[in-house]
Amino acid sequence: METKKSGLDIGYFVEHIGTLLAITVITGLLLAVVNQFTAPIITQKAIQARFDAMAAIMPTATDFEDVDYQGDAVIDGMVVAYQDGHFLGWCVTVGHGGFDGPVNMIVGVDTEGKVIALEVLSHTETPGLGTKAVEGAAWLAQFEGSDLTTQIDGISGATKSSNAVLNGVQHALTAVADEMAGGDDNGGV
């Protein structure tokens, strides 16, 4: 007479867990290998996007030099722009929190502490609503010529996204004001 097994077959589970573990390990290794090949390309593209944004903000610049600015955690970098040795202003890279993550942008500031232009490098804002604040050319253009005293209204329905841009610009202008207070011929640079 045949007896019926009761309970679970441990060998069955061990076999399937082993298979899943092998698949997971192989997939992880493949991802690591792909990352080794793509990481330098992604880094280079980010550097090129930053340079392209600075060139769009200050098209007459012939040289950019990094500034060692340590005054604000929101500031991801500061660069001074020159045209044939003549100081033009600053390009400040800022990352400020929006609705769904940081809004990373470069703010160009002239020698008088006014915004020349700004370029959004990356964001994860809500398509259609939050993107009005980070991709809306007309809304972003109103920052041109603004300074620390300029009042700019946010976008209704995209408050966090527009505040990310507003606050990012304010941080950039404050950082430049700090540099200008440094007192040498290049505005503290």
Q: Encode pLDDT of 65-92 as tens digits.
A: 988 888 777 888 899 999 999 999 999 9
- At 185 the pLDDT is 43
Rounded average pLDDT over 97-101: 73
Cα 92 to Cα 179: distance, rounded to the nearest angstrom: 11
The sign of the torsion formed by the CA atoms of 88, 93, 97, 103 equals positive
Single pTM value for the model: 0.73
Helix/strand/coil for 86: strand
Q: Which secondary-structure segment (H or E) carries 119?
A: strand 115-122
Enter the DSSP assignment of 95: E
Per-residue b or e along 128-141, where b marks 16 or more CB atoms closer than 10 Å to that residue's CB = eebebbbebeebbe
Does the pLDDT at position 140 exceed 60? yes
Cα 136 from chain centroid (whole Å)? 17
Does the pLDDT at position 43 exceed 60? yes
CA distance from start to end of the chain: 93
Enumerate helices (H) and strands (E) in the chain, giving the number of each.
Answer: 4, 5
What CA–CA distances, in Å, run from 60 to 114, 130, 178? 17, 32, 25
